[in-house]
Amino acid sequence: AYRYTISLPGSHAQGMFWYHPHPHGISEPQVLGGLSGAMIVEGLLQNNYPHLADITERVMLLKDIDTEALGLPSTSPCYPPDISGAGAKAKTVNGLCNPTIAIAPQEIQFWRIANIGADAYFNLQLSGIRMFVIAVDGNATDRPIRVENYLLPPGAPVEMLVIVCPPGAYPVHSLVFDAAPAGSPHPA
């Protein structure tokens, strides 16, 4: 075990950030194997939206996991329907497949979302949920920005306010994203 202590200046940006190992040539397999996480520097709501400082906060870490390297089966619901076999990567939220998030009608929640994976792109769409971006990569916006979907490439964090109107169940989708020519298509 080893404990890191990091001193941040008072002027450091507030918000969600991510970390992962940096050994040359093996960072990607280590992140695909699970070695990444989030760091939160507190104060974003308190300093930018003090009237919302006490609302429910959710941290959601999106990740692609190389299940083959971990010896897990490629038959789980974590896989997009058109991906299977060698090299398949499970898609998870906080290490879970298809989790449920509770939110009351008309409630405003503060969601901190980060793609802490190595290769996947998540083009998030929250059907029936209003989304307002308030910070990107530790940089607060001047005002909440309404979005219909939000693209999170590897290593990207976003912080947003979300509101659900009528009661019900609302799916969270990752829309198709084609990273070509630099990458490959990422299915829904």
- Could you read off the pLDDT of 60-90 as tens digits, one per residue? 999 887 666 666 665 555 655 544 444 557 7
> What is the average pLDDT score of the chain?
84
Q: Are 144 and 133 in contact (CB under 8 A)?
A: yes
Per DSSP (E only), the strands in the chain are: 15-19, 37-41, 57-66, 89-93, 108-115, 122-126, 129-136, 139-147, 149-152, 157-164, 172-175, 177-178, 185-186
Q: Distance between CA atoms of 61 and 96, rounded to whole angstroms?
A: 10
- Whether residue 147 is predicted with pLDDT greater than 70 in this model: the reply is yes
Reported as a pLDDT band with limits 50, 70 and 90, residue 165 is confident
SS3 49: coil
At residue 84, what is the residue type? S
**Edge-to-edge strand list for the sheet holding 57-66:** 89-93, 57-66, 108-115, 157-164, 129-136, 139-147
DSSP 46: H
Q: Are 92 and 62 in contact (CB under 8 A)?
A: yes
Structure-model confidence comparison of residues 1 and 85, the more confident one: 1
pTM of this structure: 0.85
User: What per-residue confidence (pLDDT) applies to 84?
Assistant: 45
